[in-house]
Amino acid sequence: MAYVVTQSCCSDASCVVACPVNCIHPAPGEPGFAEAEMVFIDAGTCVGCGACVTACPVGAIVPDTRLREDQRPFVDLAAEYYDVFPHRDRTPVALVPRQRRLRRPGPFRVAVVGAGPAGLYAADELLRHPEVEVEVFERLDVPHGLARFGVAADHVETRRVARLFDQITAQPGLRLHLGVEVGRDVTHEELETRFDAVVHATGAPADRRLGVPGDQLPGVLGATALAEWSNAHPARRDLALQVAPAAGGRAVVVGAGNVALDAARLLVGPLVGAREVLVLGRRGVDAAAFTTPELVGLAGLADASRPDPVDVVLEAGPAPGDGVRARLLAELATRTPVPGRPRVVLRFDAPVAEVTGDDRACGVRLVDGSLLEADLVVGAIGQDWAPVVHDRGRVRPGVYVTGWAKRGPSGFLGTNKSCAQKTVAALLDDLDAGPGPALPVPAGPPRRVRALLTGRSPR
């Protein structure tokens, strides 16, 4: 029996470290790891010990004996990968890095702003050092950021990462302040003068607008806002009215990345109940940004054994190539929809010129002049993000940045782990260097922060 990595893999590489026979690649440090959509298990070498299953925070690994039919392409994907990259050296690579020890005795107190994946991974890295205590400030009443409010509800396995984050926040050296917005309830300066260091992990603020006439009309939403509404984000409750007309109707999703596919699945699912969702890619199908694991998941929606099958149709010639992805796309291009079933239609080379409508969006006009009617228009073209100048996460000594706030909106959940490790390494360098020009001395004990917050944040 061999094990297989399936569906949405968050690329944090915990499985790679756990594997006794070094058969999960690409591993951190190997070419392609940073850009990899997922990691692959070499079926020929896997000894079926299951250590990787325990290590994986998102339940992405299953034995090949338990694969569903629609997960079979993942076996071919792994075989395809090892054909190109055999990784013949199976010596366990001892990827567990040697634990760094601080040279100065501490105690050190670090404030982390934002309890999303990046902030919590940074807190976890810091708490490896017994000299460090961490206080995390989160503006919402619940932690986990987009791992809670962005990741699609039907990505059940990925959402299990919440268990890992709960373990992080349960550590004795961590104090979590919920319902505290830094910049409103407590100022940046107040934190900087009370802590040895402040790590900003506030994510990327908002969906990028479509940037065409009509993109501000009611009935035009961002895909992250839609995902947040579907996941009961407290600030998105009023979107129900905007989404309602799509029930039994047609929605257009502009964009062709993973978040666009999340939006399409959500719109044809039971929460919204759209009859048809048209996903529009600006360029050709070979330039589509969705990852192959997400495409496998989308193609599987048509499986007739599912409770509510959804047709998925590709309106384009298949992408060139003969790999698993190209074969899957070619197969989608030949599918015939079943009348009456909800469907997702993927259309490429379809740049949008305008959102049409007077007081509410009623469709889009493409650059080629064609008009597409729609009851809802969803933009899935990324997030706005203001770059922060930093060096390995150090904005200046004592102030650091990590996650989407540092890199912009890119990568998987696990990418924030390696990102946090780099930022924390810079922070530890400064703690080691000691007070002085490298690191300002905190002006007051941090326990006063609690007193500071009393009366400011009602929660």
Ligand X SMILES: Cc1cc2nc3c(=O)[nH]c(=O)nc-3n(C[C@H](O)[C@H](O)[C@H](O)COP(=O)(O)OP(=O)(O)OC[C@H]3O[C@@H](n4cnc5c(N)ncnc54)[C@H](O)[C@@H]3O)c2cc1C
Q: Which residues bind ligand SF4 (CB under 6 A)?
A: 3, 5, 9-15, 18-19, 21, 23-24, 39, 41, 46-52, 55-56, 58, 60-61, 414
Beta bridge mates, 276: 250, 343
Query: Using CB under 6 A, which of 82, 108, 137, 290 touches ligand X?
Result: 137
Minimum CB–partner distance for residue 30 and ligand SF4 (Å): 13
Between residues 259 and 314, which has the closer beta carbon with respect to ligand X?
259
57 binds ligand X, rule: CB under 6 A? no
Binding mask 347-386 for ligand X (x = CB under 6 A): ----------------------------------------
Report in angstroms how near the CB of residue 413 gets to ligand X at its nearest.
4
146 binding partner (options ligand X, ligand SF4, none; Cβ < 5 to 8 Å by kind): ligand X
Minimum CB distance to ligand SF4, residue 11 (Å): 5
Max alpha carbon distance in the chain (Å)?
72
Q: Does 259 bind ligand X (CB under 6 A)?
A: yes
- Binding partner at 46 among ligand SF4, ligand X, none, C-beta below 5 to 8 Å by kind: ligand SF4
**Least distance to ligand SF4, CB of residue 117, Å:** 12
Element (H, E) at 415: helix 415-433
Strand segments, DSSP code E, in 130-187 are 132-138, 174-178
β 343-347/311-315 pair status: parallel
What residues between 216 and 255 interact with ligand X by CB under 6 A?
223-224, 227
Long-range contacts of 419-423 (CB under 8 A, 24+ apart): 419/118, 419/121, 419/393, 420/118, 420/121, 420/122, 420/124, 420/125, 420/201, 421/121, 421/125, 422/392, 422/393, 423/122, 423/199, 423/392, 423/393, 423/394
User: What kind and span of H or E run contains 258?
Assistant: helix 258-268
Residue 253 binds what, of ligand SF4, ligand X, none (CB under 5 to 8 Å, by partner type)?
Answer: none
- Binders in 185-214 for ligand X, by CB under 6 A: 201-203
Shortest CB 156 distance to ligand SF4, Å: 14
262 binds, among ligand X, ligand SF4, none (CB under 5 to 8 A by kind): ligand X
Task: Answer yes or no whether residue 60 interacts with ligand X by CB under 6 A.
Answer: no
**Which amino acid, 15?**
C
At its nearest, how many Å lie between ligand X and the CB of residue 80? 22
Regarding 393 and contact with ligand X (CB under 6 A), the answer is: no
Name the strand (E) or helix (H) holding 400: strand 399-401
Given the complex with ligand X, which of 59 and 284 has the nearer CB atom?
59
Using the minimum distance from each CB to ligand SF4, give the nearer residue, 60 or 361: 60
Output 22 or 242, the one with its CB closest to ligand SF4.
Answer: 22
117 binds, among ligand SF4, ligand X, none (CB under 5 to 8 A by kind): ligand X
**What is the rounded distance in angstroms from the CA atom of residue 324 to the CA atom of residue 76?**
7
The partner in contact with residue 114, picked from ligand X, ligand SF4, none with C-beta cut-offs of 5 to 8 angstroms by kind, is: ligand X
For 108, the 3-state DSSP assignment is strand
Degrees, nearest 5: CA angle 279-281-283: 165
As measured in angstroms, the least distance from the Cβ of 342 to ligand SF4 is 30
- Report d(CA 395, CA 454) in Å as an integer: 29
Those residues whose C-beta lies under 8 Å from the C-beta of residue 94, and which sit 6 or more positions away, are none
Buried b vs exposed e over 113-131: b needs ≥16 C-beta within 10 Å?
Answer: bbbbbbbbbbbbbbbebee
Q: What distance in Å separates the CA atoms of residue 27 and residue 31, rounded to the nearest whole number?
A: 8
Other Cβ atoms within 10 Å of 271 Cβ, number: 13
- CA distances 390 to 12, 229, 399, 416, 426, Å, are 23, 33, 10, 16, 11
Cα–Cα distance measured from residue 243 to residue 258, given in angstroms and rounded to the nearest whole number? 20
From ligand SF4, ligand X, none, which one binds at residue 145 (CB under 5 to 8 Å depending on kind)? ligand X
Which positions touch ligand X (CB under 6 A)?
8, 10, 113-119, 137-140, 145-147, 150-151, 155, 158, 181-183, 201-203, 223-224, 227, 259, 262, 403-405, 411-413, 416
